[in-house]
Structure 1
Amino acid sequence: MDKYSVQQHVQIIKLFYQNNCSVRATFRALRPFYGRHNRPTERTIRSVVNKFEASGSVNKEPTPVRRRNARSAENISAVRESVQENSRQSISRRSQQLGLSQTTTLRILRRDMGLHPYKIQLTQELKVNDHRQRRVFAEWALEQLETDSNFHKKVIFSDEAHFCMNGYVNKQNCRIWDNTNPHEIQERSMHPEKVTVWCGFWAGGVIGPYFFQNDVGQAITVNGERYRAMITNSFWPALADMDINNMWFQQDGATCHTAHATLDVLHEQFQRRVISRGGDVNWPPRSCDLTPLDFFLWGFLKSQVYANKPQTTAALQANIIQVIGQIQPDLCARVMENWTSRMRATHRSRGGHLPDVLFHI
């Protein structure tokens, strides 16, 4: 009935009463106007007449719009109380307890309460004395920055990392669409092949990489002798074109780094400018959030080098070399600017974790 206009409804009513209120006669009378196949059916004629006799009008009634009352003040209040009691509850569990749909619960949380979902961040556990050592280091770094605003550009950070051949599979983001469950399984070796790589990082770029491996290309453990050989044979030549008279060198507290023989080698180039356990300035343990290799470089590399699914350690090494070669100095400079923000945040938190700062590189 809705496809006919108000004028056509009026015509139907006139013909109906002109033909002695006969639906059949009205149906036949409409043929000259619509033809045999396009005229209103007897059912439509009857509906138009019934509506006219009931309401006295042939105007079309507007389609009622269903009012959405789910985001009512009462439901918003219930969701707000639920969040105050437990802010870590999932959307599905919260909506089930409140008797609301998940969509409504999500809209209330976002639109009406202005909340955002945040993920838990995993970080290194801090021991009892770590807070003091982190605070002392942050205070020292900030003092250096007050004396020299470019101090953050004069520190070379260093570290090693392992890159496994099997890469990383995120089961949460991996979905297989099919009619039946294919029971897809990805096997992982208990002792996968890996690449052990060392890099230096400063505001001017990335130094390296250097791979710890034997004569057949297999990754080997980093001990003091091999670490010192890498410094002498690879790191020193890389510094040949750099003015390191005022540069500092940082390393973590691994045993191969802090051996007396290793520190003696480092002091040959960085006299009284070694940041390390047992060095000229103590590096606080369990502080991966304070070194740019951990909070930036390793994660950035691992997000890139597995893109083409390398099948050999040689291919993985080639990817690492290629990606590092594409890192521009301006990006490294921004990372080191970020490091200065972390020093201030560490000082504010008295050596604790850094939950109050969003770091944008």
Structure 2
Amino acid sequence: MTFYTPEEYADMLICYGYCDCASAQARNEYITRYPGRRVPNVAVFDRVYRRLRETGSVLRQNTDMGRPPINDEEQDNDIVQRFRADPTTSTNIVARDLGLSQWRVWFTVHTFGLYPYHYTPVHVIEEGDPARRLDFCRFLLNADVEDPDFLRNILWTDESKFNKDGITNYHNAHYWAPKELRNPNKKRVKGSQRRFSVNVWMGIISNHLIGPYFLPDNLDGESYENFLRADLSDLLDDLPLKLIRDMWFQYDGCPAHFRRSVRNWLDTNYPNKWIGRGGPLPWPARSPDLTPMDFHVWECMKSLVYSEPNPVSSLEDLRERIVDAANKMRTTLTTGVVKTGLRRRVRQCIRNRGGHVEHEL
């Protein structure tokens, strides 16, 4: 650790004030004025100014030599008990209630091996769902053992809404800038009163991404049946013939999918080879964690669509971004997304007796 004389500290403060508290500029000014002296780090200028304001002296105090040892066992126990009694509390609240510094609380909880973790959001599982999820997962694993290509032959499909504003996680949104700029106060558009959305259908099979196809915003059974009859075959034209011949069709159990004429069409075109509500292989309700459309495709698609700093300007702009995002995904898609990722989730679901899996992956 480097120490400076009071005279050097005073000259640093002069340069710091002369440059309007911009550390990098103050360092350059110091080098110009005192060419024969040691060159301090940029951070030294901030620290000596802060030390003068807080302690009335430019010299280091004992507290600057390192953190003092903490030997108050009673205080340590009080702090730890607070977190054990309420694991959702914060260091700020505990410090305020006990009349301690937040650093003191942080030091104690880390000494006792306590660390903050984020919750993993999961979907609702209702009564009876675990048993149906277990049956489905066991079937997939058994079929995968009998036919190593089985998981790659399933066309997983789903619909998702994309709107103008998207979803932004501001907790993890940062803007990096030089320290001398202080707070650049950057802004990002959060939402607007003018709203629009599109309903997107997509599918994934092996290492092929199918779609996007834009469905009506309010999807009903008739619209979905028309899509299957008139447009699905065109979307599958680029697939290898063998893959089309061995294909299983999967969808979830939304009302539009459960239309009788839709199921009849699937029975005709995919006899005993489709997965869904009322199908030869029933789809377990409330299981988005078991389809690659939810745990991979939509997550990647929306992160690409809404990653641009400029907000979506129009419905046409939103559609173009969705198409561009799908094309980007196609360049990196591998069979491991479906086969390896799904197999891992299915096995974890069986280990959890049909319960949630996402918090353990």
**TM-score, normalised relative to structure 2:** 0.70
Native 8 Å contact 1:70 1:104 kept in 2:
no
Q: Indicate how the Cα distance of structure 1 residues 342 and 71 shifts in structure 2: closer, same or farther if over 3 A, else same.
A: farther
Does residue 192 in structure 1 map to residue 191 in structure 2? no
Q: Secondary structure at the match of 1:327?
A: helix
Counterparts of 1:296-307 in structure 2 under 5 Å? Answer: 296-306=296-306, 307=308
Q: Per-residue deviation at 1:186?
A: 5.7
Aligned Cα root-mean-square deviation (Å): 3.3
Runs of 5+ in structure 2 lacking a partner? 7-59, 176-180
Q: What percent identity do the matched residue pairs reach?
A: 28
Q: Which amino acid aligns with 2:319?
A: Q
Native 8 Å contact 1:224 1:259 kept in 2:
yes
Does residue 315 in structure 1 map to residue 313 in structure 2? no
Q: Which residue of 2 aligns with 1:19?
A: none
Q: Per-residue deviation at 1:278?
A: 0.4
Distance in 1, matches of 2:103 and 2:358, equals 30
Q: Which amino acid aligns with 2:152?
A: K
Q: Which amino acid aligns with 1:84?
A: R
2:220 to 223, 238, 249: 223
Runs of 5+ in structure 1 lacking a partner? 5-61, 214-219
Q: Secondary structure at the match of 1:133?
A: helix
Q: Per-residue deviation at 1:223?
A: 1.4
Distance in 2, matches of 1:86 and 1:128, equals 29
Does residue 106 in structure 1 map to residue 106 in structure 2? yes
Q: Indicate how the Cα distance of structure 1 residues 205 and 64 shifts in structure 2: closer, same or farther if over 3 A, else same.
A: same
Q: Per-residue deviation at 1:3?
A: 5.9
Q: Indicate how the Cα distance of structure 1 residues 321 and 86 shifts in structure 2: closer, same or farther if over 3 A, else same.
A: same
Q: Secondary structure at the match of 2:82?
A: helix
Q: Secondary structure at the match of 1:127?
A: coil
Q: Per-residue deviation at 1:185?
A: 9.2
Counterparts of 1:1-361 in structure 2 under 5 Å? Answer: 66=65, 68-69=67-68, 71-72=70-71, 74=73, 75-110=75-110, 112-170=111-169, 172=171, 188-189=192-193, 192-213=195-216, 220-240=217-237, 241-242=239-240, 243-306=243-306, 307=308, 308-328=310-330, 331-336=333-338, 337-354=340-357, 357-358=360-361
Q: Indicate how the Cα distance of structure 1 residues 96 and 139 shifts in structure 2: closer, same or farther if over 3 A, else same.
A: same
Distance in 2, matches of 1:137 and 1:69, equals 58
Q: Per-residue deviation at 1:269?
A: 3.3
Q: Deviations over 1:180-237 (max 9, x none)?
A: x9xx996643x82101100001221210000014xxxxxx311122112222332212
Q: Deviations over 1:304-344 (max 9, x none)?
A: 21224221111111110011111146534232211111101
Q: Indicate how the Cα distance of structure 1 residues 85 and 246 shifts in structure 2: closer, same or farther if over 3 A, else same.
A: same
Q: Indicate how the Cα distance of structure 1 residues 196 and 151 shifts in structure 2: closer, same or farther if over 3 A, else same.
A: same
Q: Per-residue deviation at 1:286?
A: 0.9
Distance in 2, matches of 1:3 and 1:92, equals 37
Larger Cα Rg: Structure 1 or Structure 2? 1
Q: Per-residue deviation at 1:248?
A: 1.4
Q: Secondary structure at the match of 1:338?
A: helix
Aligned length: 291
Distance in 2, matches of 1:91 and 1:346, equals 35
Q: Indicate how the Cα distance of structure 1 residues 188 and 330 shifts in structure 2: closer, same or farther if over 3 A, else same.
A: closer
Q: Which amino acid aligns with 1:130?
A: D
Q: Deviations over 1:282-308 (max 9, x none)?
A: 101111111111122222222221224
Q: Secondary structure at the match of 2:160?
A: strand
Q: Per-residue deviation at 1:80?
A: 3.2
Q: Secondary structure at the match of 1:69?
A: coil
Q: Which amino acid aligns with 1:282?
A: P
Native 8 Å contact 1:202 1:332 kept in 2:
no
Q: Indicate how the Cα distance of structure 1 residues 152 and 100 shifts in structure 2: closer, same or farther if over 3 A, else same.
A: farther
Q: Deviations over 1:32-76 (max 9, x none)?
A: xxxxxxxxxxxxxxxxxxxxxxxxxxxxxx986756336447255
Distance in 2, matches of 1:63 and 1:91, equals 26
Distance in 2, matches of 1:209 and 1:63, equals 64
Q: Indicate how the Cα distance of structure 1 residues 151 and 80 shifts in structure 2: closer, same or farther if over 3 A, else same.
A: farther
Which structure has more helix as a fraction of its residues?
A: 2
Q: Secondary structure at the match of 1:163?
A: strand
Distance in 1, matches of 2:140 and 2:198, equals 33
Using the TM superposition, name which of 314-323 and 304-313 deviates more: 304-313
Distance in 1, matches of 2:276 and 2:61, equals 75
Distance in 2, matches of 1:3 and 1:252, equals 73
Q: Indicate how the Cα distance of structure 1 residues 63 and 263 shifts in structure 2: closer, same or farther if over 3 A, else same.
A: closer
